[in-house]
Chains A and B, each alone.
Chain A
């Protein structure tokens, strides 16, 4: 551990500062909107100063931890996430394999760790320095609390992975010594891995940020006070309850745009060059907050802050923190390509599926990313149409679900369940995002929309402010749907099997269907006869091939397995149906278009 260098605020100055903040709070800004909704476990009071030239933080932190387990806890384990960027040799940088450089250096050093009675503690770095452990002189007994103080100094990296600076823009996340989660008799805390995100207990955060006047800030929770010291600096005081993290942002260029939705203030901190995003971001945020609120449960906080990031700081975009998310100002034709909306809707979804239902993102990333993205698919469809939720350019349409299905079927043999760092390469994207979206959408179509919504709502309300796992989801889903869902959990969540159903032959009086892949999901087949009559067959898919015969009926015209396309996980829908004869009219329609495109190409290339 490096020696302490932080010249922390004197008690007199701190007292004066707090008094100023307290007074200012009466005149400037509203108090926090609600009392605690859940008993705090890990709470933090942090007084931090930002040096905008050196891009450093100097802070004093007080942590109060309540032992809610049944056993005494002998030590405390902290995450020191910024140390992931202190060299190219950290686990994080090794897993990324590129990108580290002197300008991207980040680190955090902790000093003067002590109990509130002054008893000094020793903080020892663990693994690559992104974890640190402090032995307590006396274990924390069940039901008891321990409070420690520490000072820390941190260097922010140039933004490339969520946190840091880009010019005079600062997105400060994963920035303070933060406790792991005590569960099953041990600290659940892993070194910072490239794919892994975060896991923390709920608590209260009280954070004061001192930085140059002229900077506009945003942070988790609500601003309590703003004090201009008259010496070119100001102090912003934020307070948040029932949250698992605290992140903040600052820029002298931020402008504010607000909208109220269901009593919640949506604050969009945007940069002047991205003024074109204001309405789109606020519309997306409104759709997200109102839909998620009505589907799962209300957003219980008074404010939701959406942060715009500069073009050279896009590495901070598309990230979620409690009551604060960052957008991604990806350029796309307004109203046609809705990547901007997708990012906003997705990140806000994490308010429900991470910030309130706090999954272990390191051990089960599919839960928070999958639930969030599945929810985002639904919001985008509700707001912009089932087929046009992502792209709507004339006859070219694409839904957000289409995009996720594309990712899935190009790399389908990946389980969803697994620790973040156990997924290699693009398997993480498939396992945590696209496959869960496609699988949950399949489950929705099989169970029915209302039942699926009931499952999701029950799961949310039962585990709000908790740390549920895949097993908890399994229990709720089977309880609410009253069905055996082992095909979903064994086949799709834990398994890497794939499925393609196809009609392989249509005769006058028989139809042959085939299953490719070892994933089995019961389905239906619709047979249409020459007189227009139809039959809907159930097929359990257990056998790799099955033939259905229809003696004494009119000749079969066509057959289609899974005619309603419930099985989003089916790798190829194009072979789901087969007719006895050529579909002449649509074939001609396609040839007509092909002909025109060839004629256009001839014109363009040859000057005909």
Chain B
């Protein structure tokens, strides 16, 4: 399967299993609400009765930011307040992102991988030890007649979703840590090396290095995501094995991977661009109800764009 076909397949699977988008959106929103509670309370207590909040509500008011930053070194009370109100959400975001991502990815990928297959044929092993044999299953996008499982083959199955979440939770937790460390190291090495090369050779090299870095970043992102996809498709919780499989796949199918990730990232970029330059400049920030609707729609669209990439990746890796 080439990258473009995988991208189109990803779109059709995301549209077919809309429940996945809803689940992820709900988890995202709920997590953010929990994290926002403490700062919201702090804001109400600290600035809620100050008319200054009216100016803050209509945009990034330089003077308020400036006063806060400038008072940082001189106002111990303010410093303690900001640290106590800000550190919990900051740490919470990282923790929640890690936990929820590790938990949900297994179910999401399993749902897309089992697209068109019956629950009974691909169901969990009664022993609970063996993963489903997805590679033995018919190819994705198989017409209903070929799957011989009837119309239920394309239904979203809650139990299978939750089983997938739980089954790969531990492995994906570990994978998240390993890939975060590896990403940081790679970033430091690549950016440091690129800056050194530009300094040694000259500014013109930037025009060569920046596209190369973008390509490497795309491939690295693909590698990270393909590792999880490979784990699910190969039915393994051995992350080393999954990573090896992903490396082999990405290196052997660079055009297909780029063919998928190119349009998928472009789609994500379009969502961002529409939000940042199409909608936000024309939306008064103090109209909070309308703002809330627009922003939540944007989050849903961004989630959808990301899921298209994952579903397309599943289609790409499946034999």
- Chain A residues within CB distance 8 Å of chain B: 387, 391, 394-399, 402, 405-406, 409-410, 506, 558, 560, 571-583, 585-596, 598-608
Contact = CB atoms under 8 A, between A and B. Distances in A.
Q: Which of A405, A573, A592, A605 has the most B CB atoms < 10 Å from its CB?
A: A592
B35 interface: yes
Contacts of B68: 574
Q: Which 8 A/B pairs are nearest by Cβ-Cβ distance?
A: A606-B97, A606-B101, A586-B57, A605-B97, A577-B51, A410-B70, A589-B288, A398-B62
A396 B97 contact: no
Interface stretch (B6-14, B42-50, B137-145, B244-252): B42-50
Contacts of B292: 592, 595
B198 interface: no
Contacts of A591: 36, 40, 43, 288
Interface stretch (B151-159, B163-171, B279-287): B279-287
A592 B69 CA distance: 22
Contacts of A578: 49-51
B66 interface: yes
Contacts of B39: 594
Nearest to A602: B97
B96 interface: yes
A585 B100 contact: no
Given A602-B28, A602-B32, A608-B28, A558 B66 contact: no
Contact of A577 (B29, B52, B296): B52
Interface stretch (B126-134, B210-218, B230-238, B299-307): B299-307
A595 B98 contact: no
B63 A405 contact: yes
B120 interface: no
A594 B36 contact: yes
Which of B63, B64, B292, B299: most chain A Cβ within 10 A?
B63
B94 interface: yes
B56 A586 contact: yes
B299 A603 contact: yes
Contacts of A598: 31-32, 35-36, 89, 93
Contacts of B44: 582, 587
B295 interface: yes
B52 A581 contact: no
B43 A590 contact: yes
Given A395-B281, A396-B59, A591-B43, 5 more contacts: A406-B70, A573-B52, A596-B299, A606-B98, A607-B97
Interface residues of B, number: 64
B53 interface: yes
Given A405-B63, A602-B32, A579 B57 contact: no
B16 interface: no
A602 B50 contact: no
18 contacts: A395-B59, A406-B70, A410-B69, A410-B73, A573-B67, A574-B47, A582-B49, A585-B288, A586-B286, A589-B285, A590-B53, A590-B57, A591-B288, A595-B36, A598-B32, A598-B89, A605-B97, A608-B27
A546 to B, nearest CB: 19
A606 B172 CA distance: 11
B49 A603 contact: no
B71 interface: yes
Contacts of B66: 402, 405-406, 409
B288 A592 contact: yes
Given A406-B69, A406-B70, A598-B93, A592 B295 contact: yes
A206 to B, nearest CB: 41
B182 interface: no
B208 interface: no
B33 interface: yes
A117 B197 CA distance: 62
B291 interface: yes
B35 A575 contact: no
B52 A576 contact: yes
A574 B93 contact: no
A583 B53 contact: yes
B291 A592 contact: yes
B207 to A, nearest CB: 14
B54 interface: yes
B29 A599 contact: yes
B136 interface: no
B281 A394 contact: yes
A405 B69 CA distance: 12
Given A395-B59, A577-B51, A578-B49, A605 B94 contact: yes
Contacts of A586: 53-54, 56-57, 286
B60 interface: yes
Contact of B40 (A406, A594, A606): A594
Given A599-B29, A603-B299, A573 B101 contact: no
A402 B63 contact: yes
Nearest to A395: B59
Contact of A579 (B28, B51, B58, B67): B51
B105 interface: yes
Given A402-B63, A599-B32, A589 B47 contact: no
A211 B62 CA distance: 49
B276 interface: yes
Contacts of A594: 36, 39-40, 43
B93 A608 contact: no
Contacts of B58: 589
Given A409-B71, A410-B73, A593 B63 contact: no
B316 interface: no
A389 to B, nearest CB: 11
A342 to B, nearest CB: 15
A588 B292 CA distance: 10
Contacts of A585: 57, 286, 288
